[in-house]
């Protein structure tokens, strides 16, 4: 029987898609590279996920987990005809433990809706990617998502206590637990950020965070990017860790204001969004510190949101940034690198220089507080040769970030689009170790193959360090 | 292969989508299915595939487009400002031409000829009125059962076509009333309220007799030729008025897009307003009164074509509070009630699921009066809520309160 027919036996006709049109619809996520899909399934329980995995194994079809498909690096898109397992219907909030500040949730639960659900308890789920109104907890686990407020709170991995995982063999594992420091290896840490290569996450125990009693959001405008970056450095050097520190350059401000008037000054070269949260007295003092640092660096405008509505509007502007770029061009390629905060200014000018040299139009928005850069190239993929040019510029930008002591990907994952740059970061031995860890979870290489690790990551692929590998040495 | 009509989704509309996915959670059909193929981004991808020649306008394409409610909840949340509703009407127009089934031709005739005919609608509503009295809606036939969602119909009643009234008090301008197709026959009291309030607010009001149905339902169904014909008729009929007022959200939203359908349509679109906008403005200006509060709550239901297509939200609350009621919110997500014009009949399963969901939200609010500014939504709500609830247009609530006061 065909793959689709076997799947329909388990899930029924409605929950399996294999019409060529549906396969094209599922060929992309929010990134730019399309893949090839063999079928799409919508399981509703852990058991159904396991059954679907076993069927795919029998048919030797790669398995790719998909949440909301807001990933920016092709993580949720199969590279060769593969089975897309949509986990959107596993969207129950199973249990909220008010005393322990934890919740068991399905991977299909939308990030923001989890926080809305726990608002009455004075709790929220802290990692807040800009896509939080749409992306899923499962996808966040897959990519170890970060967000503006991860500066103080840490990224997804700091907020996941346990996961239920369906392995490549179709077994169901429970990793981690409610205890703050469970005994044994930290396998939850291995799964978070593994982009669906270690297994399919079917349940997640998340940590919830208390809402801060007081929040103050500031919008600072600067005549130069450098002045904004300097403010970031001096705020952090001044010993405070704001809840968020986000920087946007002028082209990005224009794109956002075109979508919705969020009150960002159109004549500024850059704006900095800073948020401080905590006890009222501390918040007052810290907000003053940020304002002073901005003034010292030459801020032309310093505005403090007076109402919740004003604060929401500032964040709406920030969180619409990536989507708003179609104003500049139909496609975009988003970079994701981290550089040491002290070398922010240097990295930024290098990136602008690369953009200019390739003659591509760039917009910038980033988590300045932790040096996570998101230079964004707006282009039209239908222009011949454009995609190649953009990719070449991208490679240079990543190399530059690594040169100044930074790293590939802060948060959007490696997926397909950044896979071949892994070699810039890691030695052959590092990559081999990662590949073998992956093999331990997925010995047949059926879970999201071709992602994260470049071809040849396993040392025996090269026979380079054969002495490290008992099997190939034998 | 590819597109065949002038109304087809345009390349710049499709290129506008950067596939960010931020619209997904706002789409009712995506919420119900979790499927990309039932999402705005997926539908745009399907249209893009046809444009690129990698897919055809086939039955699956029709299904993917057909499940869309055309509620346009995906529009205001799209940071890239993709005109989704326009592109979807284009896709429907293509389906109508490329997959011409007998059913669709029959629908095009119904929506393009029968609905705009005042006589035909009168005859139909008379039949419906008899059916109500014979309690035929208790029969297990979908079309008939829907009569249960109608207000109790009069066996006959005046059309407002051709009527005109002069402004009371200081005159601010001239207003033309689009009486609508079903609105005129089935919701006459809404049009009556509109005329009263418009004159009280200082407008000379007419309901020009040369007008026809606005064409929204025809456009949603892809009946492009009928849509163009109806739009041209209205452009001529409404030429000389300061404002053109529609009392159904679906109509005012469609008038706002007339630029696509008729020459001179853009100009008419600039003058077109929903009645709730005009009345709220008059209340704010002091041309219409604010009545003293009484402790009765009214559940606010936002028609998609006001909330999403026209960003009209505060206005309806203003009107309901000016009438003395306490507006209560029922749904912060703004999911469609599932009426969506002819959708009730074409996609019964999804329509019922959404209708039940909305009805439960109303029940949870504990209000027994619901304000809804669109006849389709009203019928859907009445049908799913049953007799204990009263569903009214906000301006009807307000006009009645004013009458009681003068
Ligand atoms: C406008 C916009 C703004 C963004 N802002 C941010 C930001 O601020 N910070 C940030 O980190 N990211 C950001 N992103 C990227 C993206 O939203 C995140 O990577 C998010 O975590 C993806 O979630 P998703 O549900 O869409 O997952 P998908 O895109 O569907 O999947 C992402 C990866 O996770 C895997 N996966 C999904 N579900 C599961 C599961 N249940 N089990 C195992 N693996 C799974 C997939 O295979 C894939 O590799 C942004 C994206 C957009 C479009
Ligand atoms: S929000 Fe707009 S740009 Fe983003 S996927 Fe939806 S339609 Fe496309
Ligand atoms: S119009 Fe409504 S149903 Fe159609 S895609 Fe947009 S949100 Fe979904």
Residue B71 sits in a domain whose CATH number is 1.10.1060.10
Domain count, chain B: 2
H-type helices in B68-204, by residue range?
84-98, 102-109, 118-133, 142-145, 182-186, 188-200
Question: For position A472, what pLDDT does the model report?
Answer: 39
B245 close to B176: Cβ distance less than 8 angstroms: yes
The region of weakest confidence among A219-228, A371-380, B99-108, B392-401 is B99-108
Residues A279 and A181 placed together within one structural domain of the fold: no
- Check if B71 has its Cβ closer than 6 Å to any atom of ligand 3: yes
Domain boundary among A68, A86, A104: A86
Mean pLDDT over B149-178 rounds to 83
Any chain A CB within 8 A of the CB of B15?
Answer: yes
Residues A54 and A122 placed together within one structural domain of the fold: no
Task: Round the average pLDDT of chain B to a whole number and report it.
Answer: 90
- Check if A278 has its Cβ closer than 6 Å to any atom of ligand 1: no
Residues A198 and A239 placed together within one structural domain of the fold: no
- Check if B384 has its Cβ closer than 6 Å to any atom of ligand 3: no
> Which residues in chain A are closer than 8 Å to B37, comparing Cβ atoms?
17, 21-22, 25-26
User: Do the Cβ atoms of A30 and B19 come within 8 Å?
Assistant: yes
pLDDT in tens, B116-125: 776 766 667 6
Q: Residue B144: which pLDDT band, with cuts at 50, 70 and 90?
A: low
Measured between CB atoms, which of A17, A21, A325 is closest to B46?
Answer: A21
Matching residue, tokens 């046809």: B50
A451 close to A82: Cβ distance less than 8 angstroms: no
* Letter string b/e over residues B290-326, b meaning 16 or more CB atoms within 10 A of that residue's CB: ebeeeeeebbbbbbbbbbbbbebeebbbbbbbbbbbe
The region of weakest confidence among A360-369, B266-275, B315-324 is A360-369
Residues of chain A with pLDDT > 90, as a percent, come to 57
Highest mean pLDDT: which of A372-386, B205-219, B335-349?
Answer: B205-219
Q: What sign has the CA pseudo-torsion B94, B99, B100, B105?
A: negative
A453 close to A419: Cβ distance less than 8 angstroms: yes
A356 close to B54: Cβ distance less than 8 angstroms: no
Measured between CB atoms, which of A30, A110, A258 is closest to B25?
Answer: A110
Could you tell which of A48, A67, A256 is best to mutate to test the pocket of ligand 1, judged by most ligand atoms within 8 Å of the CB?
A: A67
The region of weakest confidence among A92-101, A205-214, A229-238, B392-401 is A229-238
Q: Residue B226: inside a domain, yes or no?
A: no
Query: Ligand 3 mean position to B66 CA, how many Å?
Result: 11
* Smallest Cα distance from A86 to chain B, Å: 8
- Check if A71 has its Cβ closer than 6 Å to any atom of ligand 1: yes
pTM for this predicted structure: 0.90
Query: Ligand 1 mean position to B325 CA, how many Å?
Result: 45
Other C-beta atoms closer than 10 Å to the C-beta of B230 total: 28
Ligand nearest to the CA of B40: 3
Matching residue, tokens 């297509």: B309
- Check if B351 has its Cβ closer than 6 Å to any atom of ligand 3: no
User: Do the Cβ atoms of A131 and B21 come within 8 Å?
Assistant: yes
Residues A7 and A70 placed together within one structural domain of the fold: yes
> Which residues in chain B are closer than 8 Å to A260, comparing Cβ atoms?
79
- What residues does B391 pair with on adjacent strands? B370
Q: Residue B45: which pLDDT band, with cuts at 50, 70 and 90?
A: very high
Q: Quick check: helix, strand or coil at residue A83? A: strand
Residues A195 and A269 placed together within one structural domain of the fold: no
User: Do the Cβ atoms of B80 and A324 come within 8 Å?
Assistant: yes
pLDDT in tens, A435-457: 999 999 999 999 999 888 888 77
Q: Which of B215, B213, B194 is nearest to B119 (CA)?
A: B213
Any chain A CB within 8 A of the CB of B20?
Answer: yes
- Check if B43 has its Cβ closer than 6 Å to any atom of ligand 3: yes
User: What CATH number does residue A376 fall under?
Assistant: 3.30.70.2740
For residues A344 and A372, what is the distance between their CA atoms, to the nearest angstrom? Answer: 9
Residues of chain B with pLDDT > 70, as a percent, come to 90
From residue B260, give the alpha-carbon distance in Å to each of A206, A234, B89. 49, 54, 10
pLDDT exceeds 50 at position B349: yes
When scoring A14, A20, A24, A318 by the number of chain B Cβ atoms within 10 A, the one with the most, hence best to mutate, is A24
Contacting A residues, span 169-228, partner chain B, CB-CB under 8 Å: none
User: Do the Cβ atoms of A20 and B55 come within 8 Å?
Assistant: yes
Residues A401 and A439 placed together within one structural domain of the fold: no
pLDDT exceeds 80 at position B20: yes
Any chain A CB within 8 A of the CB of B53?
Answer: no
Query: Ligand 3 mean position to B24 CA, how many Å?
Result: 9
Q: Residue B170: inside a domain, yes or no?
A: no
Residues A59 and A119 placed together within one structural domain of the fold: no
Domain boundary among A304, A323, A342: A323
Any chain B CB within 8 A of the CB of A26?
Answer: yes
Mean pLDDT over B286-294 rounds to 95
Contacting A residues, span 328-367, partner chain B, CB-CB under 8 Å: 330-332
pLDDT in tens, A74-99: 899 999 999 999 999 999 999 999 99
pLDDT in tens, A280-297: 999 999 999 999 999 999
pLDDT exceeds 80 at position A465: no
Q: Residue B34: which pLDDT band, with cuts at 50, 70 and 90?
A: very high
Domain boundary among B76, B100, B124: B100
Residues A288 and A255 placed together within one structural domain of the fold: yes
Measured between CB atoms, which of B15, B19, B22 is closest to A28?
Answer: B19
User: What CATH number does residue A190 fall under?
Assistant: 3.30.465.10
Measured between CB atoms, which of A40, A68, A323 is closest to B80?
Answer: A323
B183 close to B212: Cβ distance less than 8 angstroms: no
A418 close to A400: Cβ distance less than 8 angstroms: no
Any chain A CB within 8 A of the CB of B101?
Answer: no
Could you tell which of A29, A319, A323, A330 is best to mutate to test the pocket of ligand 2, judged by most ligand atoms within 8 Å of the CB?
A: A323
Q: Could you tell me the residue range of the domain that residue B58 belongs to?
A: 11-100
Pocket around ligand 2: residues whose beta carbon is below 6 Å from it? A 323; B 17-23, 40-41, 44, 74, 78, 80, 82
Report the atom number in ligand 3 closest to the C-alpha of B69.
Answer: 3
Residues A159 and A106 placed together within one structural domain of the fold: yes
The region of weakest confidence among A335-344, A431-440, B53-62 is A335-344
Contacting B residues, span 166-185, partner chain A, CB-CB under 8 Å: none
Cβ pairs A/B, distance under 8 A: 112
When scoring B12, B17, B21, B76 by the number of chain A Cβ atoms within 10 A, the one with the most, hence best to mutate, is B21
* Smallest Cα distance from A141 to chain B, Å: 18
Domain boundary among B70, B100, B130: B100
Residues A296 and A231 placed together within one structural domain of the fold: yes
> Which residues in chain A are closer than 8 Å to B42, comparing Cβ atoms?
25
Residues A306 and A245 placed together within one structural domain of the fold: yes
Residues A447 and A387 placed together within one structural domain of the fold: no
Residue B161 in tokens: 């076509």
Domain boundary among A59, A86, A113: A86
* Smallest Cα distance from B34 to chain A, Å: 5
User: Do the Cβ atoms of A22 and B33 come within 8 Å?
Assistant: no
* Smallest Cα distance from B125 to chain A, Å: 38
For residues A122 and B203, what is the distance between their CA atoms, to the nearest angstrom? Answer: 51
Domain boundary among B80, B100, B120: B100
pLDDT in tens, A251-310: 899 989 988 888 899 999 999 999 999 999 999 999 999 999 999 999 999 999 989 899
DSSP H/E element including B246: strand B243-246
> Which residues in chain B are closer than 8 Å to A256, comparing Cβ atoms?
79
The region of weakest confidence among A400-414, A460-474, B279-293 is A460-474
Domain count, chain A: 5
- Check if B29 has its Cβ closer than 6 Å to any atom of ligand 3: yes
Q: Could you tell me the residue range of the domain that residue A435 belongs to?
A: 421-473
Q: Residue B202: inside a domain, yes or no?
A: no
> Read out DSSP for A404-464?
TT-EE-SSS--TTTTGGGHHHHS-HHHHHHHHHHHHHH-TT--BSTTSSSPTT-SHHHHTT
């Amino acid at each position: 029987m065909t793959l689709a027919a076997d799947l329909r036996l388990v899930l029924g006709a409605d929950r399996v898609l294999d019409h060529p049109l549906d396969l094209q619809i599922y060929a992309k996520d929010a990134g730019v590279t399309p893949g090839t899909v063999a079928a799409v399934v919508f399981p509703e329980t852990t058991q159904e996920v396991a059954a679907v995995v076993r069927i795919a194994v029998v048919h030797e079809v790669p398995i790719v987990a998909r949440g909301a498909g807001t990933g920016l690096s092709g993580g949720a898109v199969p590279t060769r005809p593969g089975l897309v397992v949509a986990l959107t219907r596993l969207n129950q909030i199973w249990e909220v433990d008010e005393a322990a500040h934890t919740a068991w949730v399905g991977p299909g639960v939308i990030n923001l809706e989890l926080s809305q659900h726990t608002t009455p308890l004075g709790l929220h789920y802290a990692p807040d990617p800009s896509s939080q109104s749409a992306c899923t907890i499962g996808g966040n686990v897959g990519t170890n998502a970060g967000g503006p407020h991860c500066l103080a709170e840490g990224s997804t991995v700091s907020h996941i206590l346990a996961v239920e995982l369906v392995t490549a063999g179709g077994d169901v594992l429970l990793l981690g637990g409610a205890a703050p420091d469970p005994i044994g290896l930290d396998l939850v840490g291995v799964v978070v950020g593994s982009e669906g290569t270690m297994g399919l996450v079917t349940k997640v125990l998340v940590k919830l965070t208390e809402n801060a009693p007081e929040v103050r959001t500031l919008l600072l405008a600067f005549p130069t990017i450098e002045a904004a970056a300097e403010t970031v450095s001096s705020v952090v050097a001044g010993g405070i860790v704001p809840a968020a520190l986000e920087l946007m350059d002028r082209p990005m401000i224009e794109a956002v204001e075109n979508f919705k008037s969020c009150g960002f000054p159109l004549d500024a070269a850059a704006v900095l969004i800073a948020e401080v949260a905590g006890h009222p007295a501390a918040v007052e003092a810290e907000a003053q510190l940020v304002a002073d640092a901005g003034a010292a660096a030459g801020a032309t405008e310093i505005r403090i949101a007076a109402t919740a509505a004003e604060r929401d509007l500032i964040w709406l502007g920030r969180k619409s940034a990536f989507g708003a770029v179609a104003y500049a061009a139909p496609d975009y390629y988003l970079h994701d690198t981290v550089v040491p905060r002290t070398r922010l200014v240097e990295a930024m000018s290098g990136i602008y220089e690369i953009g200019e040299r390739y003659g591509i139009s760039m917009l910038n928005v980033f988590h300045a507080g932790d040096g996570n850069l998101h230079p964004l190239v707006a282009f039209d993929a239908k222009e011949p040769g454009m995609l190649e040019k953009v990719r070449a510029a991208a490679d240079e930008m990543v190399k530059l970030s690594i040169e100044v002591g930074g790293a590939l990907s802060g948060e959007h994952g490696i997926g397909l689009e950044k896979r071949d740059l892994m070699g810039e970061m890691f030695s052959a031995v590092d990559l081999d170790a990662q590949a073998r860890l992956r093999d331990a979870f997925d010995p047949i290489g059926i879970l999201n193959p071709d992602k994260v690790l470049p071809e040849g990551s396993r040392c025996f692929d090269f026979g380079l360090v054969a002495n490290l590998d008992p099997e190939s040495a034998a | 292969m590819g597109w065949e009509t002038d109304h087809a989704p345009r390349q710049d509309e499709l290129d506008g989508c950067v596939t960010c996915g931020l619209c997904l959670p706002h789409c009712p059909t995506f919420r119900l299915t979790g499927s990309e193929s039932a999402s705005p981004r997926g539908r745009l991808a399907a249209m893009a595939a046809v444009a690129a020649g990698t897919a055809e306008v086939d039955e699956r394409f029709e299904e993917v487009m057909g499940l869309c409610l055309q509620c346009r909840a995906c529009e205001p949340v799209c940071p890239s400002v993709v005109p989704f509703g326009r592109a979807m009407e284009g896709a429907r127009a293509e389906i109508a031409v490329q997959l011409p089934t007998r059913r669709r031709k029959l629908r095009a005739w119904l929506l393009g000829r029968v609905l705009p005919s005042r006589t035909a609608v009168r005859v139909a509503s008379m039949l419906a009125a008899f059916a109500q009295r014979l309690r035929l809606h208790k029969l297990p036939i979908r079309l008939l059962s829907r009569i249960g969602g109608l207000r109790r119909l009069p066996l006959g009643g005046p059309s407002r076509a051709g009527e005109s009234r002069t402004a009371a008090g200081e005159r601010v301008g001239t207003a033309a009333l689009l009486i609508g197709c079903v609105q005129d026959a089935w919701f006459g009291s809404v049009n009556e309220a509109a005329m009263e309030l418009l004159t009280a607010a200082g407008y000379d009001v007419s309901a020009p007799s040369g007008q026809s149905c606005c064409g929204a339902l025809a456009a949603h169904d892809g009946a492009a030729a009928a849509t163009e014909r109806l739009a041209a008729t209205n452009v001529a009929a409404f030429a000389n008025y300061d404002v053109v007022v529609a009392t159904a959200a679906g109509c005012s939203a469609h008038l706002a897009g007339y630029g696509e359908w008729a020459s001179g349509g853009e100009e008419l679109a600039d003058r077109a307003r929903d009645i709730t906008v005009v009345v709220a403005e008059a209340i704010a200006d002091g041309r219409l009164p604010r009545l003293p509060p009484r402790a009765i709550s009214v559940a606010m239901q936002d028609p998609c074509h006001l909330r999403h297509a026209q960003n009209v939200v505060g206005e309806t609350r203003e009107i309901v509070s000016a009438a003395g009621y306490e507006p209560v919110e029922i749904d912060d997500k703004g999911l469609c009630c599932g009426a969506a014009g002819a959708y009730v009949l074409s996609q019964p399963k999804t329509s019922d699921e959404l209708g039940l969901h909305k009805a439960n939200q109303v029940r949870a609010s504990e209000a027994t009066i619901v304000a809804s500014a669109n006849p389709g939504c009203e019928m859907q709500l009445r049908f799913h809520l049953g007799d204990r609830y009263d569903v009214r247009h906000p301006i009807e609530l307000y006009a009645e309160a004013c009458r009681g006061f003068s």
